[in-house]
Amino acid sequence: MWPCVVSSFSRRLVASLGVCGRRKCCGTAAFMPEAPAFEGVRSRSELRDFSVSDSERFWAAVGNQRLSWISPFHTVQDCDLTQGRIKWFEGGKLNVSVNCLDRHVHTSPDRVALIWERDEQGSEVKYTYRELLEMTCRLGNVLRRRGVKRGDCVTIYMPTCPLAVAAMLACARIGAAHNVVFAGFSADALAERIRDAESNTVITVNQGVRGGKFTELKKTVDEAVQSCPSVQQVLVAMRTDTPVVMTARDVAMEEYVFSYHDGDVFGCVADIGWITGHSYTVYGPLANGGTTVLFESTPIYPDPGRYWNTVERLKINQFYGAPTAIRLLLKYGDHWVTKYDRSTLKTLGSVGEPINTEAWEWYHRVVGDGRCPVVDTWWQTETGGICIAPRPSEPDAEIVPGMAMRPFFGIKPVLMDTEGKVLTSNNTSGALCMAQPWPGMARTIRNNHQRFIETYYQPYPGYFFTGDGAYRSAQGYYQITGRLDDVINVSGHRIGTAEIEDVVNQCSAVAESAVIGFSHDIKGEGVYAFVVLKKNIDIKEDDLSRQLNKMVSKKIAKYACPDVIQLANRLPKTRSGKIMRRVLRKVVERDLDGLGDLSTLDDPTAVQEIVEGHNAILRKQQQKQQP
Q: How far is the CB of 280 from ligand 6R9 (least distance, A)?
A: 9
Query: With respect to ligand 6R9, which residue has the nearer C-beta, 201 or 576?
Result: 576
Q: How many CB atoms lie within 10 A of CB 373?
A: 18
CA distance linking residue 123 with residue 119, whole number of Å = 8
Per-position DSSP letters for 362-431, written without gaps between them? HIIIIISTTTSPEEE-B--GGG-S--B-S-SS-TT----TT--BSBPTT--EEEE-TTSPEE-SSSEEEE
Closer by beta carbon to ligand 6R9, 33 or else 352: 352
Instruction: State the nearest-atom distance from the C-beta of 103 to ligand 6R9, in Å.
Output: 26
My answer on whether omega of the bond before 392 falls inside 30° of 0, hence cis, is: yes
Look at phi and psi of residue 115 and say left if phi exceeds 0, alpha if psi is from -120 to 50, else beta: beta
By the rule CB under 6 A, 378 interacts with ligand 6R9: yes
Of 225-233, 374-382, 434-442, 612-620: span binding ligand 6R9 (CB under 6 A): 374-382
Backbone angles phi, psi at 249, to 5 degrees: -80, -20
**Adjacent-strand bridge partners of 169:** none
377 near ligand 6R9, judged by CB under 6 A: yes
- Helices (H) and strands (E) counted in the chain, each on its own, are 21, 26
457-476 positions binding ligand 6R9, by CB under 6 A: 466-468
Q: Which residue is nearest to ligand 6R9 (CB)?
A: 381
In the list 53, 65, 107, 381, the residue contacting ligand 6R9 (rule: CB under 6 A) is 381
Contact present, 382 and 456 (Cβ < 8 Å) = yes
117, 119, 376, 525: which one contacts ligand 6R9 (CB under 6 A)? 376
Q: Which is nearer to ligand 6R9, 232 or 506 (CB)?
A: 506
Judged by CB under 6 A, does residue 391 bind ligand 6R9? no
541-580 footprint of ligand 6R9 as x/- string (CB under 6 A): -----------------------------------x----
Using CB under 6 A, pick the residue from 103, 391, 406, 483 that binds ligand 6R9.
483
Q: What is the CA radius of gyration of the chain?
A: 25
Residue 280 binds to ligand 6R9 (criterion: CB under 6 A)? no
Question: Comparing C-alpha atoms, which of 169, 74, 49 is closest to residue 410?
Answer: 49
Candidates 160-168, 296-304, 345-353, 535-543: pick the segment binding ligand 6R9 (CB under 6 A). 345-353
Angle at 185 between CA 184 and CA 186, to 5 degrees: 120
- Does residue 356 belong to the site contacting ligand 6R9 (CB under 6 A)? no
User: Is residue 277 at the binding interface for ligand 6R9, with CB under 6 A as the rule?
Assistant: no
Please name every residue paired with 233 in a beta bridge, in sequence order, or none if there are none: 201
CB-based contact 498:527 (threshold 8 Å): no
- C-alpha torsion 83→84→88→91, nearest 10: -60
* HEC-encoded secondary structure of 343-372: CCCCEEEECCCCCCHHHHHHHHHHHCCCCC
Tell whether residue 512 is a contact of ligand 6R9 (CB under 6 A): no
- The least CB distance from residue 614 to ligand 6R9, in Å, is 25
Q: What character string, x for contact with ligand 6R9 (CB under 6 A) and - otherwise, covers 218-257? A: ----------------------------------------
Q: At what angle do helices 187-197 and 217-225 cross, to 10 degrees?
A: 60
- Does 352 bind ligand 6R9 (CB under 6 A)? Our answer is yes
Q: Which stretch binds ligand 6R9 (CB under 6 A): 170-178, 261-269, 378-386, 579-587?
A: 378-386
Residues that bind ligand 6R9 (CB under 6 A): 275-276, 351-354, 376-381, 404, 466-468, 480, 483, 576
